[in-house]
Structure 1
């Protein structure tokens, strides 16, 4: 079981535009059955974590329908409503406590930090982030939400090309106390 931040990024290191849009990503050329593609990744995921902005984007673009089968923890200080169908838990506070719940529910499967970069950074700060998977799209945004607003030491463990994307997978290096090495 691993806790992974799996995401796409522009070449200049942004995962969303300044107005939190992912539209730049939706017209990119990727093989859904190719290397490091979403269907292969999600098949091993037992629980999800996401921030409020990501949750709101998903709900808007799925017309209010929840499309994930896995239990999902949404970290928020906002007054959000969970969808009518699906296991969505609105939480706040320390990611360590929530990670313990997620681990129990995931039953040996991976935990996916869906977004955003700040939330993934909080898991990294707590020494709980194991891997970072980034699909780099052939686009620059110039500004927006940064991929990971932290310094992390990473080890490249896999790289592949999936049509227009440069796909990378890294292991987060931890120090002797289990914290990130940075």
Structure 2
């Protein structure tokens, strides 16, 4: 069975996105729009994200106007989007809109991954749901040299150091990279 990995760029003060759900702060950093491929999770078969993350990427990359770009970015990866809204889907993209909790859909998501890794892209509440049910295997953060005044925090929950084991700390250009194994509660 593959791993479930939360991997995201965050501001120095712990935000995934600004108050407008924008990631533009990341793309203003030298190298922010062209990440080191070694920073990205490998063997990903399924992406999981919230509606705000999905909509921002959809708009930022103009996927609705140029759906062929979706294949360039995601290939045959399946994307699950947790939402309560009816959202647009680019032609040819395997995007599955789901409602409810991570716990309700975890078996389906694991089956779709067929032994490959699952990349949780955001947001913080979604990450929290994976942690709540003890389903997250790895927490990887690329910390950017930028701050925002407010926005979407990486994790709107407390998690103790007894749950996180540091497995990597390094720099990549202007970014600091931290990877933690998430220890099971039981």
Are 1:85 and 2:59 counterparts?
A: no
Q: State how far apart, in whole Å, the 1-side matches of 2:156 and 2:6 are.
A: 13
The alpha carbon displacement at 1:151 in A equals 1.4
Structure 1: 5+ residue stretches without partners: 177-182
TM-score norm. by structure 1 comes to 0.88
Find the counterpart in structure 1 of residue 57 from structure 2: 58
The alpha carbon displacement at 1:89 in A equals 0.4
CA RMSD of aligned residues (A): 1.5
Q: State how far apart, in whole Å, the 2-side matches of 1:81 and 1:61 are.
A: 14
Following superposition of structure 1 onto structure 2, how do residues 1-182 of structure 1 map, counting pairs within 5 Å?
1-30=2-31, 32-33=35-36, 36-38=38-40, 41=41, 43-63=42-62, 64=64, 65=67, 66=70, 67-69=73-75, 70-153=77-160, 154-176=164-186
Q: State how far apart, in whole Å, the 1-side matches of 2:100 and 2:36 are.
A: 37
Q: Deviations over 1:46-80 (max 9, x none)?
A: 10111000111111012123332200110000121
TM-score norm. by structure 2 comes to 0.86
The alpha carbon displacement at 1:108 in A equals 1.5
Q: State how far apart, in whole Å, the 2-side matches of 1:147 and 1:94 are.
A: 18
Q: Which moved more, 1:102-111 or 1:129-138?
A: 102-111
Q: Which moved more, 1:159-168 or 1:74-83?
A: 74-83
Structure 2: 5+ residue stretches without partners: none
The alpha carbon displacement at 1:150 in A equals 1.2
Runs of 4+ in structure 1 deviating by more than 6 angstroms, as ranges, are none
Q: State how far apart, in whole Å, the 2-side matches of 1:33 and 1:113 are.
A: 18
2:10/2:143 contact within 8 Å kept: yes
The alpha carbon displacement at 1:137 in A equals 0.3
Q: State how far apart, in whole Å, the 1-side matches of 2:27 and 2:133 are.
A: 32
